[in-house]
Amino acid sequence: MKKIMSYAVLAAFIGGAAAIGGYKLLEHKAENASLEEKQKVYFANNPLKISSAGAEDFVQAAAAVSPAVVHIKTTYSASGRSARSSSPFDMFDDFFGGGGRRMQRAPRAASGSGVILSEDGYIVTNNHVVDNAEKIDVILTDKRRMTAKVVGKDPNTDLALLKIEARGLPVVKMGNSDNVQVGEWVLAVGYPLDLQTTVTAGIVSAKARQIGILAQDQQQPLTEEEYEEYMRSGKVPERAANQSIESFIQTDAAINPGNSGGALVNANGELIGINSAIASQSGRNEGYGFAIPVNLAKKILDDFMRFGTVKRGYVGVSFRALDAEAAEQLNIKDLNGLYVNEVVPNGGAAAAGIQKGDIIKKVDGKVVSDAPDLQEKIGRMNPGDRVKLTVLRNGQMKDFNVTLKGESVNKLAANANSGSKAAVSAGASFAPASAEQKARYNVKNGVVVTNVQPGKAFDMYGIPQGLLITSVNGIAVNSAADVEKALPQTKNNMVNITGVSPNGTISYNYQAR
């Protein structure tokens, strides 16, 4: 009898040890799982319970999401975020609650929102919420305050991933932004105006919106040395190869400063976007907000967890979205698709056989009509992935399988950053004005000054970053190439720049150096 008892105790001990070992193994696997894998485990044990009683009843969806949307408080030094140059078109500071980008001597603080994606403390927010912050605090809905570390951040999509040391946190379920429909009811959840958790409702008013805000804030001009190297070798500098990706979900749900980084969810309580910007003259809600699609965010966040940075694949073309105006300028009949301006030597498109003058009509069988359509789809892919481009060439549709490359061969960014000697001399970079920007300022053409280099002509003569330039020396401009042609190629020539700002039409005159 004693032997039987001993065996029973031994078996129980071995079984317990095995269970503990198995638990530790599963815990280790969970630590290294992707966010989607973490979410599958979480929602298998914590299924969403949203009633289908009515599409306009958001009570249960709001209750499911609100506990997992957090308040983010950031602190900056005098040389941090507040030291960046101001822009008359910059919507980020107003949305973020920073009150403008002016030099400050004392440390300053700001606030935004974030969304918990895993019960072990991974939180998504906007890059501009945490960029250059000395300290990042996360305040949970149960009033706990924790210091967060940055896992990764990407200015080209305005996304950042944070981590706090906590367990058993509530989680927002990631949905599928491809299924979002214009007219669909959505909720915006965040911490506007430094208030506590706030939920507002509206509809999706548009998809794949490009508003030019990331290009204005992030692009940098080529230096003279980089330009000379580019002209010699044809290789774009790595920092210039990064390109902003804008394909926002537009909504009329009321969002205000402080909502940045918060959740945009559907009526089922599923995350479909990360609120990022507002279109506003006053800095407060005027009817339009913009959110980063969650399907794009999934790839970026996964890269953050695996590499700490983003691994991008490039098609290797520069292109222009077609409309009636563009078709007239290019002397073509097509009004839809993406016109290939240039093909990067040794890039994926060149290897596949894409040619200058081709019109990209489809990506993996799906129709594309504007830049965001292509940029978001490619933005979800990695170097080495293959994509099928359907192009119109000489009146016939042709399919090409393009293998995306990760090298710095993306000439589209170089075009936007302006590789001309005239533009380098001016010390500025340019991007085509979006349709929304042109409509806002009631102009038919223009380029936006995306960056002004200190000490160069534009800086010395007070031409601001963010200015929408309509003409140079009396010549209408629509691209960096137009600016290059209009600027004088010799020194000591007078230059006249005409642009528009919130204060109206402005004219600048300076002498080329």
Helices (H) and strands (E) in the chain, counts: 17, 26
Q: Which residues contact 121 (CB under 8 A, 6 or more apart)?
A: 163, 164, 165, 166, 167, 169
Structure tokens at 295: 């399907």
Structure tokens at 105: 């001597």
Torsion of CA 411, 412, 414, 416, to 10 degrees: 170
What is the CA angle 102-103-108, rounded to 5? 90
Pairwise CA distance, residues 454 & 428, whole Å: 9
What is the CA angle 442-340-399, rounded to 5? 130
163 forms beta bridges with 122, 149
Pairwise CA distance, residues 138 & 273, whole Å: 20
Catalytic residue check, 71: no
What kind and span of H or E run contains 472? strand 468-472
Pairwise CA distance, residues 327 & 350, whole Å: 24
Among candidate residues 71, 128, 252, 434, the one labeled active-site is 128
Pairwise CA distance, residues 463 & 499, whole Å: 10
Among candidate residues 120, 131, 154, 158, the one labeled active-site is 158
Catalytic residue check, 158: yes
Catalytic residue check, 260: yes
- Scanning the structure block, which residue is given the tokens 């994606």? 117
Among candidate residues 260, 418, 434, 479, the one labeled active-site is 260
Pairwise CA distance, residues 358 & 391, whole Å: 6
Residue type for position 470? T
Pairwise CA distance, residues 512 & 473, whole Å: 12
Mind telling me the catalytic residues? 128, 158, 260
